[in-house]
Each structure stands twice: as structure tokens, then as C-alpha cells.
């Protein structure tokens, strides 16, 4: 038996023993947590407060069970050995001895795990060896060592193929996996950065931006308890993408991260096709629309006029000046038109009661003076009021003093008062406000003076037109203006494919993150047809100023060097300033198959059949213009591959990709060359392009 084989077998069995004991411990901890939860739920609650407490405790334990169960797959993946012989195992979560809290497994996010990711032969950080473990279920199938301090390998070491190469060439499953075992130093540096503000990551296709974003989210939850308490939100471009990344955080022991598209964040239910025309969508993405909606609200608050209300037999009148004072005070007191309307109403009612008191006082004084002049009697002295007042005595209030609190309460509930307030400060509904702008050419002209007439005509719509995706940020903006800031905000927000966001969408995101702590990743060369910003400064400065730190990733972990070379000219055309990424792997050269138009469907089916026969079990993606999807689906090509419209390919990846009719993708929608660039960079191994000869 060759020597390396012997040492590998030995190393595997040593690790297996340790790994098995960790799994036993994990199973024990899960059983304990389950038993605790059952115990908590079985405890009778004597009061509502006890019941609430019990629910909270049960929920916390359910979270803990989820966290422990999530760590099952690949619980431990690394080991670091110091030069002095001390060893630490690194895993998805931390596990400690019960008695003295000694670490048996170090959470990958802990400081102690840093050298696993950061040590290099030049900076070994005190390490002699870094070991990667590969597990299948609970069994160690291989180990692979890197020696970092320049010492020669011994019988205990298994210096082998890099685990990164193995991870990168592994078959894709259609769902992204955590890369926690093989995070690279450049990625780790960003993930662990202490910076709590806005971290921006730019990088070409496959450079690990999504990996960094999601592991950063997990790190934030671990390292910044305040942000963790306030919650973490991950925003992605569409449901398909969110599904693709959905397993990563749970597998890192994090189940409490909210995930949403911008459309979902707006909380407006829409059905059917919600993609509107791109030129209108681009315009609706401009921050001018925020100004226009604010202007429209302002008009509705700025109605001048006086205020008259009947109280019993009396008509009480407030001057326009008094109304304006109440309006200014209401606006300063609270955000949101409707909540401020309530304050405005209360202030008007206060002013009404103050006026009544004033008028009543004046009236009574007048009566007193007239009576004294005519009868010579001082009525106050006569009724003993003046004396009681002077003595500060308690006793029945004089008849003419008003019960102002009761009047105030009555007035706040009074339909007449509400009608009078409605004239000065109408209650608003966010959707109606947006429609009031978009259905009225006059309002568009008044509130969007920077747009040309032609642009404004693109925005004009009918009152019954359905909402589109581009309307969502307008509805959100309107909700913010009308009802105040969103109730649910987050301590940290992660945005993937952030190049897609319009100014109006950025406003949506930023208002959900009061602490302005974010991780934003994207690539402007992959921008879709609605995005208008061409770099981070342009996209972010209106919302975040210069408060962001930009990192660049330059190594593509997905595609081969051959595939990257194939798209180099295209990249030069769509993003001349961008440095192409370099790949760690080489593989097959991309292939091109050409067909006459009427043979296209047959050629696609033939290609897919051939590929799935040659590479059984591999994940094959067909990327085509959106308009071609239904035809391909009808042809039952889904049996062999997943059909993805080019508009939804961002962020996804497959072992092999067939790109159908690049010309059609380019011309299908504006910015089509960028769609094609995305499509051509989705394969980890093989790329075939089917082109159509001109008829
Ligand atoms: N350190 C790593 N270890 C193992 N796999 C990695 C690592 N970094 C990235 N990958 C893998 O490389 C592929 C591309 O990564 P990712 O999707 O994060 O790139 P991206 O920059 O977001 O790409 P795109 O711009 O195309 O959306 C994924 O399969 C990911 O799991």
C-alpha cells in the first residue's frame, strides 16, 4: 500500500472518531432542546403574561433546534494545528463541553477561526497545518492538508488536491450551497470586516459576490448582536433567485433572515404580468417621482382657509392664521400625512375649546359689567365666587365654567368636525395618490417639470390600469408620505444584484435600514434594462453620500478561463472600463452550433438530449429570450434541462448551459447585450451557443 494512502486512511480514521463524537453531541443537544421545549409548552400558564413568556421561551427553543438541525450537513469541515501541537476544529456552529465550556468545535465566524481562512505560507499566523475535511452524511470521506510553516510533511499529513478546486468542479444542484469550508482570503476579509456602515462589493460574473453577501449576513448575525436583534433582510432581484439562495443561511445555522424582492417589500399584492414597458419603468425609477409625490401631498396639506364648527348652539370660528399655525405644528410633530392629520385635528379642537373659553370669559365679563352698571351689584361677590376664588376653596364650579375635556372628546368624535378637517387636510390613500399623479396630465406637468412632454406622456396611465413592478417603489414612497415610515425595519440589509436598483428602489431599501448598515453586491456590466446608474457612486451617493466602502473581487470561481475569454469582446463593448475577471480553472472551449431558423427547435432538443446523455446527473440550463420560453417548454425540453428566460438568469448557475439565439436575446429588450453577457457566464463547465442563420 503506498505511503500516502496509509497516512490518508489513518488521518481519516482519526478525524472520523472526533467527528462522530461531535455528531453525538449535536444529537444530544437537539434532544435536550426538544425536551426543554416540550417541558416549556407543558407548563401551565396562570396568567396572560405567563402564557406570553411561555410562548417566547418555546419560540426561542424552536429557533435553537432549527439552528442545530441546520448544522447537520457538513457540521465540521476544518482543523487548524498550531506549531505547538494545539488543534482546533472549525465548523458551521460552535459546540462546547457542558461542564467547563471548552470549545470542541469552533464556529467559523469566531475570531479563533480566522487563521483557517487567512493564514498563508507567507503569513502562517502561528499555524503549521490547515486541514479540510470532506464529509458525506456523518462520514469523513477525505482530508486534505496544507502545510503553512515550511516544515516537511510527516506521516500524519495528507498533502493533496485543493478542496477549493474540488468544490468548484462539483456538480451543481440548482440550489446554492454555503462556501464556508473554502472561503478565500479576499472574501473572508470582506465578510469579517468590522465596518458597520455600507460595504459594497463589485465583481464580474462568478466572483463570489453572492457568497460574500450571504456569509456576511451570517457574520453580522454572529458578531453584531444589536443588528442581529433588529433583524437582517436579504433583497434579491426575483423569486427564482431567492429560491436559488434560500438554503445557504439555514445551512449556516441562521433561520431568522428575512428574504424579499423589492416588489414584496412594498407589500402590495399584484397578479399576472407585472413587467411594464422599460422606458416608462426607467422614468418611474427616477427620484423626481419622489419629489412629485411629495409635492402632491403638500398641495393637499396646504389648503388655506378658516375653520368653523358648531358646538351645541354656538358656531366657533378659527381664523386662517390659526389654522395655518395648527398645520405647521402638526407637520413638525409627526411624519406621515395621515398621522399628522390626526395631530392637526387635535390642535384645531384645542384651538376651538380655547376660543370658546376666551369667548365665554369675555361674554360673562360683559354680563357682569352690564349687571353691575344697571343694578350696582357685583355678581361675583353676590354668588360668593370671588371670595371662594380668593380663598382657593374647593367646591362646585361656577355655572359658567366649561367642562373643556368633555367638549374636546366630543369634538374629536364629531362627524361635523371631521368633515371640516377633511376639507383642509383630506385623509389620503397611497394608491390613490400615485394614481392621482399618473392619471392626470396636469399633475404630471406641474410636479415633474424636469421631464419632457414626451417623457410625461409615457408615464400617463388610465385609472384602471394594473400596477407594474415599477409602480411598487412609488406605492412605497406614497405609503411613507401618507402613513409614515415602514413599521418593519432591519439592523442590516443585504442587497444582491444591486446594480438593478433604481433610485426609487434605493429609497425603499434605505428607509428600511435606519442604521444604514448594509452589504451591497453587484456588477454594473450585468445591469438590466431598467437600471440607469452606471457605477456605485452614481447609484448610491443620492442616498448614502460617500458613506460606503468599495471592495473589488477579481477571481471568477464559477466559469472556466475559456468561457471568460469567449465573452471578453462583449465585456469590452458593454463595460469598457471593467477589468475582466480571471478564472482559477480551465476546461472545454465553448461550442457554437448554427441552424437555419426553421431547424432551431430540433437543434435545441438534439443538443439537450446529447448533453444529458453524455453528462448524466449534471444540471443543464437553457437560456433564451423571454418570448421563446413557452415554445421550448411546450417541446418538453424541461425533461432534460431547466429553461430560464434571459431576464431571470442573473445570479444563477448550471454545470452546462445552452444559450439559444444570442441575436434574439440582444434584440428582445433594451440592454440586451448585457442580458447576453449574463447568459454566457452561467456555466461552471460547458457552454454551447445555438445561433440562427439569417433567413
Ligand atoms: N470560496 C469559495 N468556495 C467554494 N465555492 C465558491 C467560493 N466562492 C465562490 N464560489 C462558488 O462560485 C460560484 C459563483 O459564486 P457567486 O454566485 O457568489 O458569484 P457572483 O459574483 O454572485 O456571480 P454573478 O455575478 O454571476 O451573480 C458559486 O457556485 C459559488 O458557490
pLDDT tens digits along 428-453: 999 999 999 999 999 999 999 999 99
Q: Is 396's pLDDT higher than 50? A: no
- 215 and 237 together in one domain: yes
- Residue 224 lies inside a defined structural domain of this protein: yes
Query: Contacts by 562-570 with C-beta closer than 8 Å and gap 24+?
Result: 562/586, 562/587, 562/588, 562/589, 562/590, 563/587, 563/590, 563/680, 563/681, 563/683, 563/687, 564/681, 566/590, 566/680, 566/687, 567/677, 567/680, 567/681, 570/673, 570/676, 570/677, 570/680
The CA distance from 17 to 23, in Å, is: 10
- 151 and 264 together in one domain: no
**Which has more pLDDT, 694 or 386?**
694
In residues, how long is the chain?
695
**Which has more pLDDT, 374 or 51?**
51
- 409 and 438 together in one domain: no
How does residue 638 score in pLDDT terms, banded at 50, 70 and 90?
low
Question: Which residue range is the domain that position 320 belongs to?
Answer: 301-427
- Final residue in a domain of this structure, among 138, 161, 184: 161
The chain-wide mean pLDDT, for the chain, equals 88
Rounded to 5°, the CA angle 651-262-472 comes to 140
- Residue 405 lies inside a defined structural domain of this protein: yes
3-state SS, 579-603, equals: CCCEECCCCCCCEEEEECHHHHHHH
| Residues facing residue 303 across a β-bridge | none
Predicted ipTM of the assembly: 0.99
Q: What confidence score (pLDDT) does residue 385 get?
A: 45
**Ramachandran assignment for 357, one of left (phi > 0), alpha (psi -120 to 50 degrees), beta (any other):** alpha
Query: Quick check: 497 and 241 in contact, CB under 8 A?
Result: yes
177: CA distance to ligand 1 center in Å?
Answer: 9
Q: What confidence score (pLDDT) does residue 401 get?
A: 57
Measured from the Cβ of residue 308, the count of other Cβ atoms closer than 10 Å reads: 12
Using a pLDDT cut of 70, give the percent of the chain over it. Answer: 91
User: Is 209's C-beta closer than 6 angstroms to any atom of ligand 1?
Assistant: yes
How many distinct structural domains can be found in the chain? 4
CATH number, domain containing residue 637: 3.40.50.300
The CA distance from 210 to 248, in Å, is: 10
Q: Is 417's pLDDT higher than 50? A: yes
- Residue 168 lies inside a defined structural domain of this protein: no
The CA distance from 268 to 484, in Å, is: 16
pLDDT digits (tens, 9 = 90+) for 492-520: 999 999 999 999 999 999 999 999 999 99
The CA distance from 664 to 692, in Å, is: 9
- 510 and 548 together in one domain: yes
The CA distance from 602 to 693, in Å, is: 14
Q: Is 391's pLDDT higher than 60? A: no
User: Is 183's C-beta closer than 6 angstroms to any atom of ligand 1?
Assistant: yes
- Residue 179 lies inside a defined structural domain of this protein: no
The runs of H, that is alpha helices, within 376-396 are 379-383, 385-391
Q: What confidence score (pLDDT) does residue 664 get?
A: 96
- 127 and 19 together in one domain: yes
The CA distance from 615 to 587, in Å, is: 15
Q: How many CA atoms lie within 13 A of 47 on its CB side?
A: 3
- Edge-first strand listing for the sheet containing 683-692: 591-595, 683-692, 654-660, 620-624, 642-645
242-256, 363-377, 666-680: least confidently modelled range: 363-377
Q: Whose CA is nearest to atom 23 of ligand 1?
A: 206
Please enumerate in sequence order all residues whose Cβ is within 8 A of that of 398, keeping only pairs 6 or more positions apart, or say none: 383, 385
How does residue 462 score in pLDDT terms, banded at 50, 70 and 90?
very high
CA distances from residue 549 to 150, 187, 532, 537, 663 in whole angstroms, order as listed: 35, 14, 21, 11, 38
CA distances from residue 518 to 191, 200, 434, 476, 605 in whole angstroms, order as listed: 12, 8, 29, 20, 44
Q: Is 617 exposed, middle or buried (0-12, 13-18, 19+ CB in 10 A)?
A: exposed
- 404 and 538 together in one domain: no
Q: What confidence score (pLDDT) does residue 610 get?
A: 92
pLDDT digits (tens, 9 = 90+) for 156-211: 888 766 788 888 888 888 889 888 888 998 999 999 998 789 999 999 999 999 99
The runs of H, that is alpha helices, within 302-429 are 320-333, 337-375, 379-383, 385-391, 404-413, 415-424
CATH number, domain containing residue 545: 3.40.50
User: Is 203's C-beta closer than 6 angstroms to any atom of ligand 1?
Assistant: yes
How does residue 376 score in pLDDT terms, banded at 50, 70 and 90?
low
- Residue 172 lies inside a defined structural domain of this protein: no
User: Is 182's C-beta closer than 6 angstroms to any atom of ligand 1?
Assistant: yes
Nearest to 242 by CA among 633, 609, 536, 648: 648
How does residue 388 score in pLDDT terms, banded at 50, 70 and 90?
very low
Q: What confidence score (pLDDT) does residue 685 get?
A: 94
| Residues facing residue 319 across a β-bridge | none
- 126 and 239 together in one domain: no
- Residue 564 lies inside a defined structural domain of this protein: no
How does residue 122 score in pLDDT terms, banded at 50, 70 and 90?
confident
**Which has more pLDDT, 459 or 9?**
459
- Residue 572 lies inside a defined structural domain of this protein: no
324: CA distance to ligand 1 center in Å?
Answer: 58
Q: What confidence score (pLDDT) does residue 371 get?
A: 57
Q: Whose CA is nearest to atom 4 of ligand 1?
A: 179
- 41 and 152 together in one domain: yes
The CA distance from 253 to 109, in Å, is: 11
- Residue 561 lies inside a defined structural domain of this protein: no
Ligand 1, residues 118, 134, 164, 179: which to mutate, most atoms within 8 A of Cβ? 179
Q: What confidence score (pLDDT) does residue 372 get?
A: 64
Integer Rg of the chain from CA: 34
- 20 and 157 together in one domain: yes
- 546 and 647 together in one domain: no
Q: What confidence score (pLDDT) does residue 591 get?
A: 97
- 376 and 457 together in one domain: no
- 225 and 353 together in one domain: no
Query: Crossing angle, helix 288-301 and helix 430-438, to 10 degrees?
Result: 110
CA dihedral 190→193→198→200, nearest 10 degrees, is: -10
User: Is 674's C-beta closer than 6 angstroms to any atom of ligand 1?
Assistant: no
How does residue 399 score in pLDDT terms, banded at 50, 70 and 90?
very low
Q: Is 594 annotated as a binding residue?
A: no
Minimum-distance ligand 1 atom for the alpha carbon of 181: 3
User: Is 251's C-beta closer than 6 angstroms to any atom of ligand 1?
Assistant: no
Q: What confidence score (pLDDT) does residue 2 get?
A: 47
Q: What is the DSSP string of 96-109?
A: E-TTT--EEEEETT
Query: Quick check: 512 and 485 in contact, CB under 8 A?
Result: no
Amino acid at each position: 500500500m503506498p505511503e500516502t494512502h496509509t497516512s490518508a486512511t489513518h488521518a481519516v480514521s482519526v478525524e472520523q472518531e472526533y467527528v462522530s463524537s461531535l455528531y453525538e453531541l449535536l444529537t444530544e443537544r437537539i434532544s435536550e432542546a426538544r425536551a426543554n421545549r416540550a417541558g416549556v409548552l407543558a407548563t401551565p400558564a396562570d396568567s396572560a403574561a405567563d402564557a406570553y413568556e411561555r410562548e417566547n421561551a418555546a419560540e426561542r427553543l424552536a429557533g435553537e433546534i432549527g439552528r442545530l438541525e441546520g448544522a447537520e450537513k457538513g457540521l465540521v469541515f476544518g482543523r487548524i494545528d498550531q506549531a505547538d501541537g494545539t488543534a482546533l476544529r472549525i465548523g458551521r456552529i460552535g459546540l462546547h463541553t457542558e461542564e467547563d465550556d471548552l470549545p470542541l468545535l469552533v464556529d467559523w465566524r469566531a475570531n479563533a477561526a480566522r487563521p483557517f481562512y487567512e493564514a498563508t505560507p507567507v503569513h502562517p499566523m502561528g499555524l503549521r497545518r490547515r486541514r479540510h475535511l470532506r464529509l458525506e452524511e456523518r462520514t469523513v470521506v477525505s482530508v486534505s492538508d496544507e502545510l503553512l510553516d515550511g516544515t516537511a510533511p510527516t506521516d500524519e499529513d495528507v498533502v493533496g488536491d485543493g478542496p477549493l478546486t474540488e468544490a468548484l468542479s462539483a456538480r451543481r444542484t440548482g440550489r446554492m450551497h454555503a462556501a464556508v469550508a473554502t472561503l478565500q482570503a479576499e472574501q473572508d476579509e470582506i465578510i469579517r470586516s468590522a465596518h458597520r456602515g455600507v460595504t459594497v462589493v463589485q465583481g464580474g460574473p462568478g466572483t463570489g459576490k453572492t457568497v460574500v453577501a450571504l456569509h456576511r449576513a451570517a457574520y453580522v448575525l454572529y458578531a453584531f448582536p444589536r443588528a442581529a436583534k433588529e433583524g437582517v433582510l436579504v433583497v434579491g432581484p426575483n423569486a427564482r433567485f431567492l429560491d436559488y439562495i434560500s438554503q445557504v443561511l439555514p445551512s449556516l445555522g441562521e433561520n431568522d433572515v428575512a428574504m424579499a424582492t423589492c416588489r414584496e417589500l412594498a407589500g402590495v399584492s399584484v397578479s399576472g404580468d407585472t413587467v411594464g414597458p422599460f422606458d416608462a419603468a426607467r422614468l418611474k425609477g427616477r427620484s423626481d417621482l419622489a419629489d412629485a409625490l411629495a409635492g402632491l401631498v403638500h398641495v393637499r396639506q396646504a389648503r388655506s382657509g378658516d375653520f368653523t364648527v358648531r358646538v351645541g348652539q354656538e358656531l366657533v370660528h378659527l381664523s386662517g392664521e390659526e389654522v395655518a399655525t395648527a398645520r405647521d405644528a402638526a407637520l413638525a410633530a409627526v411624519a406621515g400625512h395621515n398621522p399628522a392629520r390626526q395631530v392637526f385635528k387635535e390642535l384645531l379642537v384645542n384651538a376651538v375649546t380655547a376660543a370658546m373659553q376666551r369667548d365665554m370669559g369675555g361674554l360673562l365679563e360683559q354680563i357682569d359689567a352690564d349687571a353691575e352698571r344697571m343694578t350696582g351689584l357685583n355678581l361675583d361677590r353676590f354668588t360668593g365666587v370671588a371670595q371662594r376664588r380668593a380663598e382657593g376653596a374647593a367646591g362646585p364650579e361656577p355655572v359658567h365654567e366649561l367642562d373643556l375635556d368633555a367638549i374636546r372628546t366630543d369634538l374629536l368624535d364629531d362627524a361635523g368636525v371631521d368633515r371640516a378637517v377633511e376639507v383642509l387636510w383630506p385623509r389620503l390613500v397611497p394608491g390613490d395618490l400615485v394614481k392621482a399623479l399618473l392619471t392626470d396630465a396636469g399633475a404630471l406637468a406641474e410636479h415633474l417639470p424636469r421631464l419632457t412632454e414626451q417623457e410625461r406622456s409615457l408615464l400617463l396611465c388610465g385609472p384602471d390600469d394594473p400596477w407594474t413592478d415599477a409602480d411598487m417603489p412609488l406605492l412605497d414612497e406614497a405609503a411613507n408620505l401618507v402613513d409614515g415610515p415602514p413599521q418593519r425595519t432591519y439592523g442590516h440589509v443585504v442587497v444582491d444584484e444591486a446594480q438593478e436598483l433604481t433610485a426609487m428602489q434605493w429609497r425603499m431599501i434605505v428607509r428600511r435600514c435606519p442604521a444604514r448598515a448594509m452589504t451591497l453586491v453587484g456588477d454594473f456590466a450585468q445591469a438590466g434594462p431598467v437600471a440607469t446608474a452606471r457605477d456605485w457612486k452614481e447609484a448610491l451617493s443620492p442616498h448614502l453620500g460617500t458613506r460606503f466602502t468599495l471592495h473589488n473581487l477579481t477571481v471568477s470561481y464559477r466559469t472556466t478561463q475559456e468561457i471568460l475569454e469567449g465573452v471578453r469582446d462583449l465585456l469590452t463593448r458593454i463595460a469598457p472600463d471593467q477589468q475582466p475577471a480571471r478564472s482559477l480553472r480551465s476546461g472545454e472551449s465553448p461550442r457554437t452550433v448554427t441552424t437555419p431558423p426553421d431547424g432551431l427547435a430540433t437543434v435545441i432538443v438534439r443538443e439537450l438530449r446529447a448533453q444529458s446523455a453524455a453528462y448524466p446527473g449534471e444540471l443543464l440550463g437553457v437560456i433564451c429570450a423571454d418570448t421563446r420560453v413557452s415554445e421550448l417548454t411546450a417541446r418538453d425540453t424541461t425533461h432534460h434541462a431547466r429553461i430560464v428566460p434571459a431576464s431571470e438568469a442573473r445570479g444563477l448557475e448550471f454545470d452546462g448551459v445552452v444559450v439559444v439565439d444570442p441575436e434574439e436575446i440582444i434584440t428582445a429588450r433594451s440592454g440586451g447585450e448585457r442580458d447576453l453577457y449574463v447568459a454566457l457566464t452561467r456555466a461552471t463547465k460547458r457552454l454551447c451557443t445555438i445561433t440562427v442563420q439569417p433567413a
